[in-house]
Amino acid sequence: MTIIYCMSFNVDLKRGKYYETKALENLKTHGFKKLKIYEGYKKEYDISGRFKKKKVYIECKYSKYVSYTNKIFIEVFTTKFKESGITATRSDYYILYSYFDYWIIETDELKKALEEHLRSVCNIKNATHIQLIDYIKENGCYTNNSIGVIIPMDTIQKRCIFYGNHKKRNNNNNVFV
């Protein structure tokens, strides 16, 4: 089973903006307030707002593959081992989108899910956080721009604070993206 996956960073601005706008709508239904999309490139977070009377930052991610595989790619580093994705974010929450569904999870819980998955699949159950990071570095590929881990949504969903559907499924569940 492959858990380390390298991906090219191919900016799809139109799709990214669509899901950030969708996130505002979905986050509001769960009590997030005063939401604002950060315009421009910012690797630390995409959206700022308030939740439970606290200033919060939110990272918004979309993957069409979740609908096919029930797994998602979580970016950890660039191929030059610079912090990127979950290691660079200042966000308090992630909102993850598939074609039909969304999940809202605290960033710290997503990190714990990532570590739990690595420990179970890689048979390094007692590994420290640093050893897990070293494992990712040693087993990543170096040809593209991102290094990360593919993690089952079940591992993430059990740690989510909210889950919902943002799009209705058709009868045969075909996904056209």
Decide if 91 contacts 59 (C-beta within 8 A).
Answer: yes
pTM of the model: 0.82
Residues of the chain with pLDDT under 50: 1-5, 7-11, 141-143, 173-177
Q: How much is the pLDDT for 147?
A: 78
Provide DSSP, 53-107. Answer: TEEEEEEEEE-TTHHHHSEEEEEEEETT--B-GGGT---SEEEEE-SSEEEEEEH
| Total number of residues shown for the chain | 177
Decide if 63 contacts 76 (C-beta within 8 A).
Answer: no
CA atoms 88, 126, 136, 23: torsion sign: negative
Q: How much is the pLDDT for 174?
A: 47
Q: How much is the pLDDT for 141?
A: 38
Q: How much is the pLDDT for 81?
A: 76
Dump pLDDT digits (tens) for 17-55: 889 999 999 999 999 999 999 987 666 899 999 999 999
Q: What percentage of the chain exceeds 70 in pLDDT?
A: 73
Q: How much is the pLDDT for 1?
A: 41
Q: How much is the pLDDT for 115?
A: 85
Query: Residue 141 CB: number of other CB atoms within 10 A?
Result: 12
Query: Residue 63 CB: number of other CB atoms within 10 A?
Result: 20
